[in-house]
Structure 1
Amino acid sequence: MGEGENKPSPTHRLDVLGFYCPVPVAKTRTALKKLETGSILEVLADDPETLHDMPLLLGRTQHRLIDIIQESGEIRFVIQVSA
């Protein structure tokens, strides 16, 4: 999304800072199963492999990757939960 566009605010947050593959993806998968459709999950990670693995996980589901934000060694994935 570009500057000035409305981005949905996260309704839930999952902190997997300090964890490495496969933990961030596994915990994200578990969290997504528990959330209601329309929820927005923000995943905080610092494992560079998640930049590859998270889009692969979401590509096999109906969930929508809204944004990836990299800042100060942290990666934030903003995901809209789908049925």
Structure 2
Amino acid sequence: MPSIKKVGDNLYELDLKGYVCPYPQMYTSQALSKLPKGSVLKVIIDNPPSIENIKSVAQKAGAKSLQVEAKGGTWEITINI
């Protein structure tokens, strides 16, 4: 499993470039279950179909908000837990 990197106060990053479904949503779900409430997780992907699946996983995990930003071939999904 890719590791969750702490990149700031209550800010974490999960780099899932190179992974295809179902792995991005599985790893995102695992990461969300490990992080404390009030944290922010940035998931970086390069597989467009995973965007909707990660959104669904985040909503099921009780995410407060979610933002998707295109970054030239990759996407950053910011999940507020």
Q: TM-score, normalised by structure 1?
A: 0.79
| Distance change >3 Å, CA 65–CA 30, structure 1 → 2 | same
| Per-residue Cα deviation, 1:24-52 (whole angstroms, up to 9, x for no partner) | 10000000011000000000001111122
| Per-residue Cα deviation, 1:59-78 (whole angstroms, up to 9, x for no partner) | 32311333100121101000
Aligned-partner Cα distance in 2 for 1:10–1:49: 28
RMSD: 1.6
Any gaps of 5 or more consecutive residues in structure 1?
Answer: 1-8
Q: TM-score, normalised by structure 2?
A: 0.81
Any gaps of 5 or more consecutive residues in structure 2?
Answer: 1-8
Alignment of 1:72-83 (within 5 A): 72-81=72-81
Q: Which runs of 4+ in 1 moved over 4 A?
A: none
Give the % identical residues: 26
Structure of greater Rg: 1
